[in-house]
Chains A and B, each alone.
Chain A
């Protein structure tokens, strides 16, 4: 028996448990860390699928940057857990109904009649010199060049929009300008006042 199925089951068990923990643990910092664990094991599963580029980029972008900023915000918030738990029973029916609907929809779309092994066929095993990175690059820059460029332009637009929406000028904040400090002259700072001495009255 090869080692890959064993690894797959270990990683998917951790993935499922970590994802469940994200929504069930009480401490928000633990929840964020469980999400990090879920991303990481997900990357490991993708590695087993020979998608090493996507796996490493998942770690680089989501674990290395996005979740760091999330954790940042969560740690600084002073979340009142008691208030956050209020109304659990009240919202349970509506929430449960939505969750049930999503479950049904996923089962219909992702069920074995659409994605079963008979429909998609067994995934190809590639040789050791197969480079997933290269394949992705070729596909992105030939077949999907225009969608890729459009997506890039949209992301740039989003960056500019986010900055221009949150940027605020604060005229009251004081800061130094070293160039001005260096260029200062004696006349700007010291004023000698000549005045006649006054007699005692």
Chain B
């Protein structure tokens, strides 16, 4: 059986073989992301439920485990309404423009040593460039809906994303100075040693700025003024229903996972074990594959997203802008100078 399959495989021309393998790799990455997105929605409702001393969804399936599937089915069955005088073409294409960059970024994410779809040298820049594209989906959705609330929401989110991108970019500059590379795998490897070698310690302010700016970039609470259900109903996606709305939802959660895994890669040692360099524990946990560690770190950061949402009240819009421009950008610029001095003086154990 296997030999038969192999002989069929060998008949396929070589160019097509590479293409098929790449498509297979994309599926292997994209399908778990989609499943994770589905189950994060459940985790979010459960976690916030427990924080608020409720149980959360528990009706569909054992302990509510089938809830995301029920939600998905509901959204698929619903009609997609297009408002009168809306720009049909842009209205339909906007959710795709939001989702596509969120998924395309995953091409350069290393899941373990060598487990990466495209091991390119400009990985960090690629992530920054593509994540800056996501804002088009929001703006176009808000404009094409022909609705005041949607337009207000899209203007808010666009201004917010453009201003937090600067702080985020500066935080990444700190990382690439410390690692001496823009290749994400090399960044992880340069943090090797122990968990004190990870970049969260020398780049602590940048770590905080990056993660908080990530919250703002994904329009999550407490920076969710773009949705602001108490002020502008639901912001840019107020006119969307059914699968078109679901795509925005998918994009938002895929972006959340992306920010978490990027923070894990750049500041928390990626797939490196936290027990590295500790005599007894290192051997004890050496059997654990790297992907488990990176997924654990990512899950913890995702929990923080949910925790923040249940804890903090929403920022006022002018406060969001003040935080981005007058607090984060000066902090990052000052710390880049510190990192520069550290790299020049080769201060150990991080910069030698």
Please list the residues of chain A having a beta carbon within 8 angstroms of any beta carbon in chain B: 3, 29, 33, 36, 52-53, 56-57, 59-60, 63-65, 68-69, 71-72, 75-76, 131, 133
Contact = CB atoms under 8 A, between A and B. Distances in A.
A64 B139 contact: no
A29 B122 contact: no
Contact of A56 (B126, B143, B155, B165): B126
Contact of A59 (B121, B133, B162): B133
Given A52-B120, A131-B121, A133-B182, A68 B139 contact: yes
Given A53-B122, A68-B158, A69-B162, A60 B139 contact: no
Contacts of A29: 87, 90, 143
A72 B122 CA distance: 29
B132 A64 contact: yes
Contacts of B165: 64-65
A60 B128 contact: yes
Interface in B207-237: none
Given A59-B129, A60-B128, A133 B90 contact: no
Interface in B60-108: 87, 90
Contacts of B143: 29, 75
B136 interface: yes
Interface residues of B, number: 26
Contacts of A63: 129, 132-133
A68 B122 contact: no
Nearest to B122: A52
Nearest to B139: A71
Contacts of B284: none
Interface of B: 15, 87, 90, 120-122, 125-126, 128-130, 132-133, 135-136, 139-140, 143, 151, 155, 158-159, 162, 165, 169, 182
A63 B135 CA distance: 10
A72 B46 CA distance: 38
Given A57-B125, A71-B139, A72-B139, A3 B132 contact: no
Given A60-B125, A60-B128, 17 more contacts: A29-B87, A36-B136, A52-B121, A56-B122, A56-B126, A56-B128, A57-B125, A59-B133, A64-B133, A68-B135, A71-B136, A71-B139, A72-B158, A75-B143, A76-B155, A131-B121, A133-B125
Contacts of B125: 52-53, 56-57, 60, 133
B162 A65 contact: yes
Contacts of A52: 120-122, 125
Nearest to B161: A68
13 contacts: A3-B15, A29-B143, A57-B129, A59-B130, A60-B128, A63-B132, A64-B129, A64-B133, A64-B162, A68-B136, A68-B139, A69-B162, A72-B158
Q: What are the 7 closest A-B residue pairs judged by CB atoms, nearest first?
A: A64-B132, A59-B129, A60-B129, A56-B125, A56-B129, A75-B143, A52-B122
Contacts of B129: 56-57, 59-60, 63-64
A53 B159 CA distance: 26
A21 to B, nearest CB: 13
Which among A3, A36, A59 has the highest number of chain B CB atoms within 10 Å?
Answer: A59
A76 B133 CA distance: 20
A36 B90 CA distance: 14
Contacts of B126: 56
Given A29-B90, A29-B143, A52-B120, A68 B128 contact: no
A69 B136 CA distance: 11
A133 B155 contact: no
Contacts of A72: 139, 155, 158-159
Contact of B122 (A3, A33, A36, A133): A133
Nearest to A43: B129
Contacts of B155: 72, 76
B327 to A, nearest CB: 15
A65 B15 contact: no
A71 B97 CA distance: 15
A56 B143 CA distance: 27
Contacts of A68: 135-136, 139, 158, 162
Contacts of B132: 59-60, 63-65
Which among B15, B129, B139 has the highest number of chain A CB atoms within 10 Å?
Answer: B129
